[in-house]
Amino acid sequence: MACLRHEHLIRINDASIAPSEWLTRSQLWEGLLHTVLSPQSLDESIDAATVLKRSAGVFRREIRRGGLTLVDEAELVADESLVIRCDSQGKFGGSTFTMRIEEPEPRMLFVRFVYELSGLEEERTEEEDNARCSAYQALDVERIREARRHAGRAH
């Protein structure tokens, strides 16, 4: 099985958005956390998502799609990052998905998304990898939209 690493950055607050609509770091964090705790808000193929266990800085969740059940674990550093690790027993065991808030200047927020995938087929084309990476980027754009919608409801 082969691996794939994909990383991209999305700017959250910029000059094309009125400063009154900018997110604070805390609002962005809460929105990102919402998309992890309620992934069905981004993916209609998810039937249910349940937090199985939660402790300081970590939670295990179960995601069900039809007859398929996935269990993963998320490590949280409040207002900083979320790292999701796939179940080590599953096909993609060892894979991680990281969302990290970056703030190079005050209120200039970005989110860095890093996908490190294990368990992929050795025989795949560059076109397949590019399509996978494009799908991740599109999902993350929607994730930021959902985080903004959630921030609007929460504050």
Query: In the chain, what are the domain boundaries?
Result: 2-154
Q: What is the pLDDT of residue 153?
A: 60
Strand ordering across the sheet containing 48-55: 2-11, 108-120, 96-105, 81-86, 68-77, 58-65, 48-55
Give dist(CA 155, CA 153) in Å, integer: 6
For residue 143, the tally of other CB atoms under 10 A from its CB is 23
Pinpoint the alpha helices (H) of 11-155: 25-37, 126-154
Residues 72, 84 contacting (CB under 8 angstroms): yes
Percent of the chain with pLDDT over 90: 69
Residue 121, pLDDT above cutoff 80: no
60 CB-near residues (< 8 Å, 6+ apart): 51, 52, 53, 54, 71, 72, 73, 74
Q: Which CATH number fits domain 2-154: 3.40.50.300, 2.40.128.20, 2.40.30.60, 3.30.530.20?
A: 3.30.530.20
Which burial class, exposed, middle or buried, applies to 31 when counting CB atoms under 10 A from its CB (0-12, 13-18, 19+)? buried
Q: Categorize the per-residue pLDDT at 155 as very low, low, confident or very high, splitting at 50, 70 and 90.
A: very low
User: Comparing 152 with 41, which gets the higher pLDDT?
Assistant: 41
The residues pairing with 70 across neighbouring beta strands, listed in sequence order, are 63
Residues 28, 36 contacting (CB under 8 angstroms): no
Residue 1, pLDDT above cutoff 70: no
Which of 30-39, 47-56, 74-83, 119-128 has the weakest average pLDDT? Answer: 119-128
50 CB-near residues (< 8 Å, 6+ apart): 61, 62
Collapsing DSSP to helix, strand or coil, 36 comes out as helix
Residue 88, pLDDT above cutoff 90: no
Q: What is the pLDDT of residue 151?
A: 84
